[in-house]
Amino acid sequence: MTNDTAEEVQNAQPALETLPRPEARRVITIANQKGGVGKTTTAVNLAAALAAHGLSVLVIDLDPQGNASTALGIDHRSGVASSYELLIGEVDMSEAIHQSPHNENLYCVPATIDLAGAEIELVSMVAREGRLKNAIDHTALNQHNIDYVLIDCPPSLGLLTVNALVAAREVLLPIQCEYYALEGVGQLLRNIELVQAHLNPSLHVSTILLTMYDGRTKLAGQVADEVRNHFGAVVLKTIIPRSVKVSEAPGYGLTVLEYDPASRGAMSYLDAGKEIAERGAATVKVRER
């Protein structure tokens, strides 16, 4: 993206109110082992939305595909200081943080292809489940005044995801408004309870976000109603619509807020970010299916 285009994007952003900073830094893991539910899309666009509202946000990319890094405009070629080096202890947080070129409030610890081998390497390491938590506790986050840490997980329940669950207090669960939407959710909730029982007592599902909503279909409404009836207050009022603009944006190394700030997708993520910030870290009990 050229400098002229970057300036046009910035000028196109709507004027937004600045949201109050949380009393304590919120660390939120965005998880769902089912692929294609909008997990990475949710991570980067919520991060961009919170940053657009004046909050300082760090995205930690734990998916070896590095799609979150791409959408935030962060270089993630092999050799760049990344989440892989952070987990195995070769760098600390201050070396792994990169500022997004799209927003001065938005930062990223990118994922490189090297992360694909981290699961195997972590097995033999001391305190293997808590390595990300220890890295997040580094003073570098205070230096950048980070308000929110959003952790994008791979679509699996291996050691990378366990590290993300141990490092966070909150879990955000994106659920798509399509067939088999709740497939695997019960297993994920059971794994969250295991981590809560043995490794991280403060962990809880604070937020469920409905994604890929197509108002033209009866099914989407039925799925949304089922999720709300089952999970109750942790489900955000905001629903993310199925959107071509949201799908296109990562191909340009952008979030939808930079790609098309006036689109329905961008507006929905701005609303979702505001709702998350204003409601705080909900502690409603989530029942298994």
What is the distance between the alpha carbons of residues 257 and 9, in angstroms, rounded to a whole number? 9
- Determine the 3-state secondary structure of 279 from DSSP: helix
State how beta strands 170-176 and 26-30 pair: parallel
- Widest distance between CA atoms in the chain: 52
Give exposure, 90-112, as e/b (b: 16+ Cβ within 10 Å). Answer: ebbbeebbbbbebbebbbbbbbb
- The secondary structure element, H or E, covering residue 150 is strand 148-152
pLDDT score, position 15: 61
pLDDT score, position 150: 98
pLDDT score, position 3: 45
What is the distance between the alpha carbons of residues 109 and 187, in angstroms, rounded to a whole number? 28
SS3 content of the chain, % helix, strand, coil (to 5): 45, 15, 40
pLDDT score, position 36: 67
pLDDT score, position 164: 96
Contact 115, 84 (CB under 8 A): yes
In tens digits, the chain (289 residues) has pLDDT values of: 444 444 444 445 556 778 889 999 999 999 887 766 778 999 999 999 999 999 999 999 999 999 999 999 999 888 899 999 999 999 999 999 999 998 999 999 999 999 988 888 888 887 899 999 999 987 788 888 999 999 999 887 789 999 999 999 999 999 988 877 777 788 889 989 999 999 999 999 999 999 988 888 888 889 899 899 989 999 999 999 998 999 899 889 899 999 999 999 999 999 999 999 998 754 444 444 4
pLDDT score, position 284: 42
CB within 8 A of 8, min separation 6: which ones? none
What is the distance between the alpha carbons of residues 36 and 34, in angstroms, rounded to a whole number? 7
Domains, the chain: 24-279 (3.40.50.300)
State how beta strands 57-61 and 106-109 pair: parallel
Q: Smallest Cα–Cα separation from 279: which of 136, 133, 170, 168?
A: 170
pLDDT score, position 143: 85
Q: Give me the count of residues in the chain.
A: 289
The distance of Cα 49 from the centroid of its chain, to the nearest Å, equals: 12
pLDDT score, position 13: 53
What is the distance between the alpha carbons of residues 58 and 39, in angstroms, rounded to a whole number? 16
The distance of Cα 205 from the centroid of its chain, to the nearest Å, equals: 14
Burial of 85 per CB tally in 10 Å (0-12, 13-18, 19+) = buried
pLDDT score, position 281: 52
pLDDT score, position 130: 92
Q: Smallest Cα–Cα separation from 35: which of 154, 142, 190, 166?
A: 154
Residue with tokens 């947080």: 93
Interaxial angle between packed helices 39-52 and 264-279, expressed in degrees from 0 to 180 and rounded to the nearest 10:
70
Does the pTM surpass 0.85? The reply is yes
